[in-house]
Amino acid sequence: MSYACRLDSTAPWRLRADLERWEGRISIPRHRHGHGYAALIVSGGYEESGSFGRYRVRVGEVLLHRPFDAHLDRFSLTGARILNLPLRSQPVYGLGRVADPDGIVRLARSDLIAATESLDEQLTQATPAPADWPDLLASDLINDPTLQLREWAERQGLAQESLARGFRKVFGMTPAAFRAEARAHSAWLGVCDAAAPLAHVAEAAGFADQAHMTRAINELTGCSPGHWRRLNRFKTPPAAVT
């Protein structure tokens, strides 16, 4: 899937504050968003497996999504209500908490900017421990996109077939595909930084060469590294894409 290659600094404020209601036992297949946003859990809870890993969330917790992140969702018996808000900056972690979720919901009804500012002020990072080996593998792949899956499986005492099957059950994709996506996202952020030469970005992200990186970033974002480098030469990494 590709995305329109346009970036607008006003884009976050054009997004609506969406209060979603999801019934219990619903699953949403893996999907990708072209913009970053925060999902504040207002009631109920669910499980999300995505680019930052797997989280089981409840009231007052906030799932943070970067542009081009992908995830799938599985809702518990009670379902959930979720307030989606635009993000003002690029998140560096996937799960946070706020002290007053109801206050943010009330603000969002009349003032989207104030609600987003309140979320930013209250937000603290939450770092749950991995629940099982698929969580641990996702974390290791995010931290090291050059990780060798065969060696990792051997250290855990797992057959490679079991590794692929068990990981896909949780994340909706193979470990190799997850690793490739993490590598592409890491490279895209390096390109947007507009500091290091593109060849150095490719090497740091674990690509065989710059051409390989270019194909991966094109597949992830719909645009070339050169486009993102020109667009962000005098900017911080983009907060939203439309």
Q: What is the pLDDT of residues 59-92, one digit of tens each?
A: 999 999 999 999 999 999 999 999 999 988 889 9
Looking at residue 214, its pLDDT comes to: 97
* Residues 111 and 57 placed together within one structural domain of the fold: yes
pTM of the complete model: 0.87
Residues in the chain, pLDDT under 50:
1-15, 236-242
Please state, in angstroms and rounded to a whole number, the distance separating the CA atoms of residues 167 and 234: 39
Question: Which residues are CB-contacts of 159 (< 8 A; sequence separation ≥ 6)?
Answer: 153
| Domain CATH code at residue 73 | 2.60.120.10
- Is residue 89 a part of any domain in this protein? yes
* Residues 137 and 189 placed together within one structural domain of the fold: yes
- Is residue 241 a part of any domain in this protein? no
- Is residue 238 a part of any domain in this protein? no
Looking at residue 220, its pLDDT comes to: 96
How many structural domains are present in the chain? Answer: 2
* Residues 16 and 118 placed together within one structural domain of the fold: yes
Tokens of 214: 């270019």
Question: Which domain range does residue 120 map to?
Answer: 11-125
The residue length of the chain stands at: 242
* Residues 118 and 144 placed together within one structural domain of the fold: no
**DSSP 3-state helix, strand, coil percentages of the chain (rounded to 5)?**
40, 25, 35
- Is residue 2 a part of any domain in this protein? no
